[in-house]
C-alpha cells in the first residue's frame, strides 16, 4: 500500500490502493454465514463517538416517532463547528445546565402532548379506560415501542423497570394512568440515551482483536448519514434480527433508506453542514445599502441552493463537480427580482425551474446568492478574503491560517481612499506585507474573481465607478473571470476529494485517523469511477465495513454494550 | 400601612392566609441595620460580568491619577455619577508567556479564566478553565432558581463569554420574551406574594429527573473514557436543574425590592448600535429584577461579540472592521468612527448601573450589594494589544469591596483582579490562574 500523505494545503490527498490492501470479510450472524469481498481496506478505524443530537435531529426524531402534530418547544444550545463540520463539533459538545433546563421543558411538554386526550389514541392501543389504575402490561408495551425508537435500541431491563416504576408511582400520585405514562415518557426524553447518540461496540469476529459498532449503533450511523434522522422501525428490526450484518441485509436497508423521500432531507442536511448554512440563521445585510435584501430573500437564497443541489445530485443523479458550473437552478419571486426575471410561481408551487442563459455571468454554486451573502461579519459590503477563505475551507477542505495578531490594516481598506477605489487595489497592500501575503495569496484571488457579485448576489461590473478586474490564477492556472474560475474549480482534484472527506467525517462524527486514509483513497477512486455520483458515494460509505469499524486505542477501557 | 410590622405580616403568611405583601416590601423584613434579612441572613451579594468588544483608547479611558482622587476621561465619563462605586484597574496584563495571541480571545479568557487559551482566535475558541462567573455561581448561586443567567444583545446565543472548561459556551438569552418566560413565567413564585403553595407539577418533574439519574451508572459504563466526562457533565447539569426545582418547592425568601416586571413586547434583534442598545435596555430590565427577585445572583451580559459586528445603521463597516481599517486621526490621535462605539459602550454600562442603583435594598442599593466586572478583550483592538486590559468593577459587594479607586497593576497579570473578586465574595481561593498568569497576590487595596 502506498503511504498517503497530507498535502501542503492540509487536504488528504488521493491515495493509490494496491491489491494487497483489499480484504475479504466474513461475517457470522445468528448462524448465517455471509461473505463479502470488499475491494477496500479496513485499516485502523477511529473511536466510537458520543454525539449530541442537533436541533434538526431532535425535532426530526420527535416528528418521525410521534408525527408532525407534536410540536417541539424551547431553545436549543448553539452548535459548535469543529474542523469544518458541526457533525464533528457534536462529538465534543456537552449539555450545560441551561441546556438541560430546556431538555426538561421539552420532555415535559412533548410527553404532555403525546398523552393528551386529543392525541393519545394514536399511540396507545390499550389502557384507554385505565383511569387511576396502573395498567402494567399496557405501560410496558408503550415504553417498549417508543423507548426503542427514542433510544434507537431496546430499553434494557433495568431501564424498563425504572420507567415503569416512575409511571406507576406517578399514576398513584395523580390518580391518572396517562399522566403516569407521561412521566415515564418524559424521563426517556430527558435521558442522555436519547439526547446523545451513544455508540456501543462489540468484538469484530472477522478481525482479531478488532471492534465494530453493534447493529443498533450501525443502524443509527446509517440512518443519520442518509436521513439525518433516527432509524425507523424496519431498520431497528434489521438491527435486532442481525440481518444488518449480512451484505444483502445491509444493502437492502441502505437502498430502502435511499429510496425514501427522507433521503432528500439527509442530503440537504449534509450540505447545510458542509457549506456552513447554519450561518443563515439570523444573517442580515444592511437594507439601507442593499434595499433588495430582506429575510425572505435570505431564506429563498438558501432554499435555492439546496434545491439546486438536490436536483442535480439526487433527482438528475448528476456529476457532483457540475455543482460548480451548472446553470440550472430554481427561482422564487424574490430571487426573480434579484435577476430581473419574471417568475411565474403559481405553476411550480413557488419555485420555478430556471436555466441561466449561456451568456449571463451566473453558473454554479459560487455565483448563487446563498454563497455570496454567507458572510455574517460583513453586512454592508463584500469581503474577497472571506469569500476566498470559504471556497478554500468549505469546498476544497483546505485550512487557511488565522491572520497574525498585530497586523495593521489601516492601509488595506480605507474605503474612502481616492486612489484605491476597488477591493483589489485595497487588498494589494496585503501582498506588500510578508506577514500577510502568504495567506492572502491563497484566499484573495478567488474572492476577487467574485467581486462582480454584490453581498446579496446581484451582478456588478464596477465598484466606485471603476471597472472590476476579476482575473487571477487558481493553482497556477489563469482565469479571466468567475465563470472561468468555476470551471477550474470543477476540474480540480480538490473539489471531489473534499466532498468524499466530508461525507466520511460527517458519517463518523470525527476527523479521520491516519489508519483510515487508505479507505478514503478507495472511496475517492470509486467516486471517480462512478462518475462522481453523490448517491453512489453515500451508498458506498454506508455499506462499507470501514464505516462499522471502531478502534479501541482512544478508550482507556472499551465501551461496552448495554445489552 | 404604617401599623404593619414583621410579626403581623409573617403571622398572616404562616396562618396560610393569602397575604399579598405590598411592594416594595417593608423594612420590617430587615434587621435594624438594614443590611440583613430579619432572619439573620445577610442581603445577598450578586456578581456579574459585562462585556463589550473591541477595547478602548488607553489615554481616553484611564484616569490620569491613581487612588481615590481621580477623574474619568472621555471614554469613561459616563460612569461619573457612580464614581464612588467604581474601581478602575489599569496596568493589568494578559500575559501570553510564549503562547500565541489568539485574536479577540486570549485577553478575555486570560481575564475571566486566569489562563491563556491554546486554541481559538477571532473571538471564539476553547477555555482551559471555567470563567469567573461560573466559579462564582458555584459559590453563591446554588440557592436561587437559576445559578446564573447569560444574555447577549445582538441576537446570537453563542455570543457569550461564560464558559465551562473546554469548548462549552453557556448560551446567551437573546430574546426578552423568552427570557421573561424563563424568569417570570408560570414557574415564577413572587417572593413577596406571601401565598406560597408548592406546585405538585414541580414535584412530579423532580421525580422524572430522579428517574433519569437512576440510569447514570449504567450509561457511564457504556461510553469510552474520553466521553465519560461529557456524560458526567450531563448529570451535573441535571442535578443543577433538580436544585432549581428544589428551590421552587421552598417558600421564597422575601425580596425587598422585587417588582415583577411586565411582559416585554417582542423585539427583533439586530446589529446596529440602536438595535443592540435597545436590546440591552430590555434585557437588563429583566436581569436587574431577576437579581432583585432572587431568581439568580450571577449573570453575564455581552453587549457585543469580541469581534464586534455592531455598526451604525446604513454604514457598511462594522466596529471590528473599523478598528482595523480606520486610520488613526493624526491630529486627535485616535480613530474617530471606532471611538464612537467605544465611548458609547460605557454609556450603556452606566445605564445598567443606573438601574441597579435605583433598586433599593436595606440601607443601600442593588448595586451596593453587587460586583460587576466590566471588561473587553483587548486594549487597542487595532493591534489586539493585551497590556492594560480594560477592567472596571462596579459595586462594593455589600461593603466587602472598597470602591472608588483607580488602581494600577504595573504589568501584573489580569488574574489578580479575578482572584480578588473571588476572595471578596468569600470564596476560599488562595491562588488562581495558571502559567504566567497564576497568582496568589490579592489586590489588597480593595479588601
**B260 contacts B289 by C-beta, under 8 angstroms:** yes
Give pLDDT, residue B43.
84
A377 neighbors A356 (Cβ within 8 angstroms): no
Mean pLDDT across chain B = 89
Per-residue pLDDT tens over the stretch A416-466: 555 666 777 666 666 666 667 777 777 788 888 888 888 888 888 888 788
Question: Which cell is B121 given?
Answer: 482566535
> What is the structure's pLDDT at B10?
35
**Counting one residue from A and one from B, how many pairs have CB atoms under 8 Å apart?**
214
pLDDT reported for residue A33: 34
Contact A94 B168 (CB under 8 A): yes
Cβ A348 vs Cβ A514: under 8 Å: no
Contact status, residue A111 vs residue A189, Cβ threshold 8 Å = yes
**Contact residues on chain B for A77, CB-CB shorter than 8 A:** 157, 171
Classified as helix, coil or strand, B168 is strand
Q: Give one word for B56, left, alpha or beta, with left for phi > 0 and alpha for psi -120 to 50.
A: beta
* CB within 8 Å: A96 and B207: no
Q: Report the C-alpha dihedral over residues A475, A479, A483, A487, rounded to 10 degrees.
A: -40
Average pLDDT over residues B330-345: 95
Non-local (6+) Cβ contacts of B235 within 8 A are A192, B213, B216
Average pLDDT estimate for B208-225? 92
Residue of A nearest to B124 (CA): A80
Do A150 and A123 meet the contact criterion of CB atoms below 8 Å apart? no
Instruction: Spell out the SS3 assignment of A421-486.
Output: CCHHHHHHHHHCCHHHHHHHHHHHHHHHHCCCECCCCCECCEECCEECCCCEEECCEEECCHHHHH
- Measured between beta carbons, the chain A residues lying within 8 angstroms of B103 are 402-403, 405
Instruction: Please compute Rg for chain A using Cα positions.
Output: 26
Long-range contacts of B15-21 (CB under 8 A, 24+ apart): B17/B195, B18/B194, B18/B195, B19/B194, B19/B195, B20/B192, B20/B193, B20/B194, B20/B195, B21/B192, B21/B193, B21/B194, B21/B254
Residue with grid cell 460586583, as numbered in its chain: B371
Can you say whether the dihedral through the CA atoms of B157, A300, B276, B289 is positive or negative?
negative
* pLDDT of B82: 98
DSSP assignment letter at A275: T
How many Å lie between the alpha carbon of B144 and the closest alpha carbon of chain A?
13
Does residue B334 contact residue B57 with C-beta atoms inside 8 Å? yes
Does residue A23 register a pLDDT over 60?
no
User: How many Cβ atoms from other residues are within 10 Å of residue A14's Cβ?
Assistant: 17
Three-state DSSP state, B169: strand
pLDDT digits (tens, 9 = 90+) for A374-427: 877 677 777 888 899 889 999 999 988 776 666 655 545 444 555 666 777 666
Q: What pLDDT shows up at residue A343?
A: 87
Residue A187: closest C-alpha in chain B: B208
Residue A421: per-residue pLDDT: 63
pLDDT of B401 above 50: yes
- Among residues A264, A248, A322, the alpha carbon closest in space to that of A35 is found at A248
**B358 or B325: whose pLDDT is higher?**
B358
Report yes or no: A461 and A468 within 8 Å, Cβ to Cβ.
yes
> Cell for B154?
445582538
Where are any strands of DSSP class E within A497-558? 549-550
Nine cell digits for residue B226: 474520553
Residues of A in contact with B164 (CB under 8 A): 94, 96
**What DSSP string runs through A297-329?**
HHHHHHHHHHHHHHIIIIIS--BGGGGGT--EE
Burial of A462 (0-12, 13-18, 19+ CB in 10 A): exposed
CA distance B264 to B282: 7
Give the separation between CA B369 and CA B358, rounded to whole angstroms: 12
Is the pLDDT at B349 greater than 60? The verdict is: yes
Which among A100, A455, A511 is the top mutation candidate for probing chain B, defined by the most B β-carbons within 10 Å of its own β-carbon?
A: A100
Contact state of B215 with A162 under an 8 Å Cβ cutoff: yes
Q: Do B212 and A191 touch (CB under 8 A)?
A: yes
User: CB A196 to CB B321 under 8 A?
Assistant: no
pLDDT the model gives residue A290? 80
B236: chain A residues, CB-CB within 8 Å: 97
CB contact under 8 A, B241 and A101: yes
Return the sign of the alpha-carbon dihedral for residues A392, A394, A398, A404. Answer: positive
Closest residue, chain B, to A91 (C-alpha): B227
Q: How far is CA B248 from the centre of its chain?
A: 23
d(CA A217, CA A200): 6
Model confidence pLDDT, tens digit, residues A277-330 = 988 887 777 777 788 888 888 999 999 999 999 999 999 999 999 999 999 999
How far is residue B243's CA from residue B198's CA, in Å, rounded to a whole number?
15
pTM of the predicted protein model: 0.84
Nearest C-alpha in B relative to A160: B215
Using an 8 Å Cβ cutoff, are B86 and B403 in contact?
Answer: yes
The answer to whether the bond into B24 is cis (omega within 30° of 0) is yes
User: Is the pLDDT reported for residue B12 higher than 60?
Assistant: no
Spell out which residues of chain A touch residue B313, defining contact as CB-CB under 8 Å: 286, 288
Model confidence pLDDT, tens digit, residues B48-77: 999 999 999 999 999 999 999 999 999 999
Secondary structure of A371-439 in the HEC alphabet?
HHHCCCCCCCCCCHHHHHHHHHHHHCCCCCCCCCCCCCCCCCCCCCCCCCCCHHHHHHHHHCCHHHHHH
**C-alpha to C-alpha distance for A455 and A371, rounded to whole angstroms:** 9
Closest CB to B207: pick one of A166, A286, A408: A166
Residues of chain B with pLDDT > 70: what percent?
Answer: 91
Judge whether residue A559 has pLDDT over 80.
no
Which residue did the predictor score with more confidence, A66 or A289? Answer: A66
Return the residue of A nearest to B316 by Cα: A380
Asked if the model's pLDDT at residue B305 lies above 90, the reply is: yes
Cβ of B399: how many Cβ atoms within 10 Å? 14
Q: Is the pLDDT of residue B160 over 80?
A: yes
- Angstroms from A21 CA to nearest CA on chain B: 29
Distance CA A534, CA A317 (A): 7
DSSP state of B87: E
* A465: number of Cβ within 10 Å: 7
B320: which chain A residues are within 8 Å (Cβ-Cβ)?
Answer: 377
Q: Confidence band (pLDDT; 50, 70, 90) for B331?
A: very high
Subunit contact B325:A173, Cβ cutoff 8 A: no
Query: Which has the minimum average pLDDT: A309-313, A331-335, B44-48?
Result: A331-335
Indicate yes or no: CB of A100 within 8 angstroms of CB of B100: no
ipTM: 0.86
HEC-encoded secondary structure of A66-124: HCCCCCCCCCCCCCCCECCEHHHHCCCCCCCHHHHHHHHHHHHHHHHHHCCCCCHHHCC
For residue B222, the chain A residues in CB contact (below 8 A) are 198, 200, 559-562
Kindly provide the b/e burial profile for residues B44-68, where b requires at least 16 CB atoms within 10 angstroms of the residue's own CB: bbbbbbbbbbbbbbbebbbbeebee
Q: Mapping DSSP to helix (H, G, I), strand (E, B) and coil, where does residue B103 land?
A: coil
What pLDDT, on a 0 to 100 scale, did the predictor assign at position A395?
A: 94
Query: Nearest CB to A286: which of B157, B214, B314?
Result: B314
Number of other residues whose CB lies within 10 A of the CB of residue A20: 8
Nearest CA in chain A to B167: A93
* Percent of chain B with pLDDT strictly greater than 90: 76
Going by pLDDT thresholds of 50, 70 and 90, the confidence category of residue A30 is very low
Which of B121, B147, B208, B318 best tests the A interface by mutation, with the highest count of A CBs <10 A? Answer: B208
Residues B128, A456: Cα–Cα separation, whole Å: 39
CA distance B66 to B39: 41
3-state class (DSSP) for residue B340: helix
Q: Test B237 with A100 for CB contact under 8 angstroms.
A: yes
Distance of alpha carbon B286 from alpha carbon B282, whole angstroms: 7
The total of other beta-carbon atoms located within 10 Å of residue B333's CB is: 10
Is A390:A384 a contact under the CB 8 Å cutoff?
no
Q: How remote is the C-alpha of B131 from its chain's centroid?
A: 11
B100, B166, B241 ranked by CB distance to A100: nearest: B241
Nearest CA in chain B to A427: B325
Identify whether the C-beta of residue B389 lies closer than 8 Å to the C-beta of residue B379: yes
Distance CA(A507)–CA(A271), nearest Å, equals: 13
Give the mean pLDDT of A147-166. Answer: 98
Whether A276 has a pLDDT exceeding 50, the answer reads yes
- Mean pLDDT for chain A overall: 85
Q: What is the pLDDT of residues B246-263, one digit of tens each?
A: 999 999 988 989 999 999
Amino acid at each position: 500500500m502506498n503511504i498517503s500523505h497530507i498535502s501542503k494545503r492540509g487536504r488528504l490527498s488521493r491515495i493509490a490502493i494496491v491489491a494487497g490492501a483489499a480484504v475479504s470479510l466474513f461475517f457470522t450472524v445468528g448462524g448465517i454465514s455471509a461473505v463479502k469481498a470488499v475491494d477496500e481496506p479496513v485499516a485502523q478505524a477511529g473511536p466510537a463517538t458520543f454525539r449530541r443530537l442537533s436541533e434538526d435531529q431532535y425535532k426530526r426524531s420527535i416528528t418521525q416517532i410521534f408525527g408532525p402534530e407534536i410540536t417541539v418547544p424551547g431553545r436549543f444550545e448553539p452548535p459548535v463547528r469543529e474542523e469544518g463540520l458541526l457533525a464533528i463539533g457534536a462529538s465534543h459538545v456537552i449539555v450545560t445546565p441551561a441546556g438541560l433546563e430546556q431538555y426538561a421543558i421539552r420532555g415535559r411538554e412533548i410527553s404532555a402532548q403525546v398523552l393528551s386526550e386529543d392525541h393519545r389514541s394514536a399511540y396507545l392501543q390499550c389502557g384507554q379506560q385505565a383511569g387511576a389504575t396502573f395498567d402494567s402490561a399496557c405501560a410496558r408495551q408503550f415504553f417498549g415501542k417508543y423507548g426503542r425508537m427514542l433510544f434507537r435500541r431496546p430499553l434494557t431491563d433495568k431501564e424498563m423497570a425504572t420507567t415503569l416504576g416512575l409511571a406507576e408511582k406517578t399514576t398513584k400520585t395523580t390518580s391518572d394512568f396517562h399522566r403516569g405514562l407521561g412521566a415515564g415518557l418524559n424521563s426517556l426524553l430527558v435521558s442522555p440515551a436519547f439526547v446523545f447518540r451513544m455508540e456501543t461496540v462489540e468484538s469484530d469476529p472477522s478481525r482479531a482483536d478488532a471492534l465494530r459498532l453493534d447493529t443498533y449503533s450501525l443502524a443509527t450511523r446509517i440512518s443519520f448519514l442518509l436521513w439525518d434522522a433516527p432509524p425507523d422501525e424496519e431498520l431497528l428490526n434489521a438491527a435486532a434480527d442481525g440481518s444488518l450484518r449480512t451484505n444483502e441485509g445491509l444493502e437492502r436497508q441502505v437502498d430502502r433508506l435511499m429510496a425514501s423521500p427522507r433521503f432528500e432531507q439527509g442530503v440537504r442536511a449534509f450540505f447545510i453542514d458542509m457549506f456552513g448554512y447554519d450561518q443563515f440563521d439570523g444573517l442580515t445585510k444592511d437594507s439601507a445599502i442593499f434595499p433588495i435584501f430582506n429575510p425572505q430573500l435570505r431564506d429563498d437564497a438558501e432554499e435555492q441552493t439546496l434545491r439546486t443541489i438536490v436536483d442535480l445530485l439526487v433527482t438528475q443523479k448528476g456529476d457532483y463537480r457540475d455543482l460548480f458550473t451548472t446553470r440550472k437552478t430554481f427561482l422564487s419571486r424574490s430571487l426573480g427580482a434579484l435577476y430581473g426575471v419574471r417568475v411565474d410561481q403559481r405553476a411550480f408551487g413557488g419555485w420555478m425551474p430556471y436555466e441561466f442563459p449561456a451568456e449571463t455571468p451566473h453558473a454554479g454554486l459560487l455565483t448563487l446568492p446563498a454563497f455570496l451573502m454567507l458572510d455574517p461579519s460583513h453586512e454592508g459590503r463584500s469581503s474577497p478574503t472571506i469569500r476566498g477563505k470559504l471556497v478554500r475551507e468549505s469546498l476544497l477542505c483546505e485550512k487557511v491560517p488565522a491572520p497574525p495578531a498585530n497586523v495593521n490594516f489601516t492601509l488595506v481598506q480605507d474605503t474612502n481612499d481616492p486612489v484605491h477605489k476597488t477591493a483589489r487595489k485595497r487588498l494589494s497592500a496585503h501582498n506588500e506585507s510578508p506577514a500577510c501575503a502568504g495567506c492572502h495569496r491563497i484566499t484573495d484571488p478567488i474572492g476577487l474573481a467574485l467581486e462582480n457579485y454584490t453581498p446579496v448576489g446581484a451582478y456588478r461590473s464596477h465598484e466606485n465607478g471603476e471597472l472590476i478586474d476579476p482575473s487571477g490564477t487558481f493553482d497556477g492556472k489563469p482565469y479571466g473571470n468567475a465563470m472561468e474560475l468555476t470551471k477550474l474549480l470543477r476540474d480540480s482534484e480538490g473539489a471531489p476529494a473534499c466532498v468524499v472527506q466530508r461525507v466520511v467525517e460527517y458519517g463518523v462524527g470525527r476527523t479521520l485517523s491516519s489508519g483510515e486514509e487508505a479507505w478514503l483513497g478507495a472511496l475517492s477512486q470509486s467516486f471517480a469511477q462512478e462518475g462522481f455520483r453523490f448517491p453512489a458515494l453515500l451508498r458506498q460509505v454506508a455499506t462499507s465495513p470501514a464505516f462499522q469499524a471502531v478502534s479501541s486505542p482512544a478508550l482507556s477501557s472499551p465501551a461496552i454494550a448495554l445489552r | 400601612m404604617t401599623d404593619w410590622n414583621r410579626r403581623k405580616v409573617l403571622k398572616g403568611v404562616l396562618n396560610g392566609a393569602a397575604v399579598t405583601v405590598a411592594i416594595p416590601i417593608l423594612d420590617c423584613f430587615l434587621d435594624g441595620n438594614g443590611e440583613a434579612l430579619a432572619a439573620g441572613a445577610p442581603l445577598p451579594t450578586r456578581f456579574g460580568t459585562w462585556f463589550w468588544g473591541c477595547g478602548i483608547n488607553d489615554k481616553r479611558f484611564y484616569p490620569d491619577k491613581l487612588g481615590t482622587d481621580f477623574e474619568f476621561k472621555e471614554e469613561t465619563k459616563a460612569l461619573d455619577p457612580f464614581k464612588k462605586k467604581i474601581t478602575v484597574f489599569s496596568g493589568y496584563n494578559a500575559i501570553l508567556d510564549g503562547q500565541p495571541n489568539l485574536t479577540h480571545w486570549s485577553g478575555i479568557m486570560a481575564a475571566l479564566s486566569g489562563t491563556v487559551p491554546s486554541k481559538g482566535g477571532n473571538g471564539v475558541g476553547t477555555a482551559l478553565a471555567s470563567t469567573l462567573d461560573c466559579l462564582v455561581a458555584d459559590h453563591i448561586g446554588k440557592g436561587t432558581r437559576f445559578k446564573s443567567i447569560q444574555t447577549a444583545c445582538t441576537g446570537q446565543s453563542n455570543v457569550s463569554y461564560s464558559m465551562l472548561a473546554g469548548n462549552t459556551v453557556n448560551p446567551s438569552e437573546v430574546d426578552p420574551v423568552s427570557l421573561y418566560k424563563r424568569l417570570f413565567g408560570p414557574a415564577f413564585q413572587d417572593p413577596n406574594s406571601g401565598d406560597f403553595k408548592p406546585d405538585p407539577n414541580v414535584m412530579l418533574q423532580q421525580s422524572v429527573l430522579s428517574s433519569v439519574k437512576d440510569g447514570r451508572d449504567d450509561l457511564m459504563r457504556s461510553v469510552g473514557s474520553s466521553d465519560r466526562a461529557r456524560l458526567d457533565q450531563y448529570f451535573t447539569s441535571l442535578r443543577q436543574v433538580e436544585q432549581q426545582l428544589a428551590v421552587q418547592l421552598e417558600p421564597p425568601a422575601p425580596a425587598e425590592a422585587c417588582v415583577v416586571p411586565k411582559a416585554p413586547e417582542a423585539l427583533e434583534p439586530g446589529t446596529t448600535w440602536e438595535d443592540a442598545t435597545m436590546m440591552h435596555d430590555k434585557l437588563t430590565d429583566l436581569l436587574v429584577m431577576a437579581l432583585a427577585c432572587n431568581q439568580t445572583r450571577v449573570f453575564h451580559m455581552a453587549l457585543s461579540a469580541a469581534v464586534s459586528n455592531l455598526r451604525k445603521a446604513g454604514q457598511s463597516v462594522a466596529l471590528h472592521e473599523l478598528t482595523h481599517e480606520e486610520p488613526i486621526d493624526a491630529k486627535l490621535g485616535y480613530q474617530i468612527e471606532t471611538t464612537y462605539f467605544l465611548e458609547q459602550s460605557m454609556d450603556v454600562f452606566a445605564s445598567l448601573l443606573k438601574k441597579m442603583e435605583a433598586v433599593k435594598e436595606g440601607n443601600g442599593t442593588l448595586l451596593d450589594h453587587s460586583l460587576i466586572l466590566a471588561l473587553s478583550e483587548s486594549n487597542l483592538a487595532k493591534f489586539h494589544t493585551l497590556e492594560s486590559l480594560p477592567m472596571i468593577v462596579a459595586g462594593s459587594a455589600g461593603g466587602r469591596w472598597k470602591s472608588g479607586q483607580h488602581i494600577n497593576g504595573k504589568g501584573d497579570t489580569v488574574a489578580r483582579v479575578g482572584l480578588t473578586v473571588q476572595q471578596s465574595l468569600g470564596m476560599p481561593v488562595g491562588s488562581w490562574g495558571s502559567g504566567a498568569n497564576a497568582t496568589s497576590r490579592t489586590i489588597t487595596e480593595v479588601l
